[in-house]
Amino acid sequence: MTSAIVCHAFGPLDQLRLETVKLKALAADEVQVKAEAIGVNYPDGLLVQGLYQMKPLTPFTPGMEVAGTITALGDNVDGFAIGDRVAALLATGGYASEIVTDPANLIALPEHVSFNDACALLCAYGTSHHALKQRASLQSGETLLVLGAAGSTGIAAIQIGKAMGAHVIAVASSEDKRALAEANGADVVLGYDGLKDAVKQETDGRGVDVVFDPVGGDAFDTATRLMARRGRLLVVGFAAGRIPSFPVNLALVKEFAVVGVFWGNFIARERALHLDNMRELFAWHADGRVKPHIGDKRSLNDAAAVLSEIMQRGARGKTVLVP
């Protein structure tokens, strides 16, 4: 048996309950992992409400990130041992005290990576790294504008942008969020009010080379008017709630590209490249160039409340659940 958050039907987040459920029987080609930290992500909330691209069969347990220790191995599993520290990247099932999964979903954790940091490095840092490296081809010396800069992917984008040699302008909605962005390496911090004029002044009218946008809505509308020639506007998510429409004439006259970032599709189709990315992130973590900001640690029973905070853009950095 295991403790798990269960979604019995798509709907409000407060319907989620912590329940004792039967743990899946261990097959010969599977591993069992005791969770020490569980990552909470914006898509988890969309999934529970039936608003995500995929809709799993109900009932289901949400959650895509688990870090912990292997407690059992199927007879056919090679490459792992009981007691190994690992992180698991899942489609669903992560909000549980123990999980059973395919070893292909596991990444061995270096000793310097804590269980909490591992949860952040998977989805938040994985998304931002893929966005800036493969989708934007960010170059040293370019200017990167990060929207939603105090969220987990925003902080990741700031740190990764600096690791790649960019000049980083961070945008956040409040003084405390801007202070957090500055503490995590941003060269310049701005608010959303008057953003267009502030960015033009900061770049001497040139505009920015890359925009990292997990926000959408009005922020995206503004970003389309801040692009430098040959710039790349990364569409990462829509935390503001409104999926914007795009006047394509702006891309024509300003000669910039709008680039979609779907990290889940990337890791499914290009696993070898994804693993290369994770090795680079672990190396950057080891030398201090990236360091997740764990904003909060909560009990598994608090999953619904934590998701609600994240959906309302109230989180600072990464929130993890501790069974």
% of the chain surpassing 70 pLDDT: 100
| 57: Cβ contacts below 8 Å, ≥ 6 apart | none
Give the range of the structural domain holding residue 129, as residue numbers without chain letter.
124-264
User: Using 50, 70 and 90 to split pLDDT, how confident is the model at 266?
Assistant: very high
Judge if 224 and 301 occupy the same domain.
no
Q: Report whether 116 contacts 65 (CB < 8 A).
A: no
Helix intervals (H) in 255-297: 263-269, 271-286
In a domain, 276, yes or no: no
Q: What is the pLDDT of residue 51?
A: 87
DSSP for 100-164, please give it.
Answer: EE-GGGEEEPPTTS-HHHHHHHHTHHHHHHHIIIIIS---TT-EEEESSTTBHHHHHHHHHHHHT
Query: 54-102 pLDDT, tens per residue?
Result: 899 999 999 999 999 999 999 999 999 999 999 999 999 999 999 999 9
Residues 22 and 48 grouped into a single domain: yes
Output the pLDDT for position 311: 87
User: Which domain-ending residue is among 249, 264, 279?
Assistant: 264
From first CA to last CA, the distance across the chain in angstroms is: 14
In a domain, 115, yes or no: no
- Domain co-membership, 132 together with 93: no
Determine, yes or no, domain membership for 118: no
Task: Name the domain boundary from 214, 245, 264.
Answer: 264
Residues 71, 199 within the same domain: no
- What is the pLDDT averaged over residues 261-272? 94
Would you say the pTM of this structure is higher than 0.85?
yes
Statement to judge: residues 43 and 95 lie in one domain:
yes
128 and 250: one domain?
Answer: yes
Residue 154 lies in a domain: yes
101-116: pLDDT as tens digits: 999 999 999 999 999 9
| Whether residue 166 is found in the same domain as residue 48 | no
Q: Mind listing the pLDDT tens digit for each residue in 170-214?
A: 999 999 999 999 999 999 999 999 999 999 999 999 999 999 999
Closest CA to 64 of 135, 5, 132: 5
Q: Count of domains in the chain? A: 2
Q: Is residue 116 part of a domain?
A: no
Task: Check whether residue 68 and residue 36 sit in a common domain.
Answer: yes
Within this chain, do residues 69 and 187 fall inside the same structural domain, yes or no?
Answer: no
**278 located within any domain:** no
Which pLDDT score is estimated for 244? 94
Are 220 and 146 within one domain?
yes
What CATH number is associated with residue 239? 3.40.50.720
Other CB atoms within a 10 A radius of the CB of residue 53 amount to 10
Confidence of residue 26 (pLDDT cuts 50, 70, 90): very high
Residue 273 located in a structural domain: no
155 with 102, same domain: the answer is no
Do residues 16 and 52 share a domain? yes
Which CATH number belongs to the domain containing residue 66 in this structure?
3.90.180.10
Domain assignment of residue 283, yes or no = no
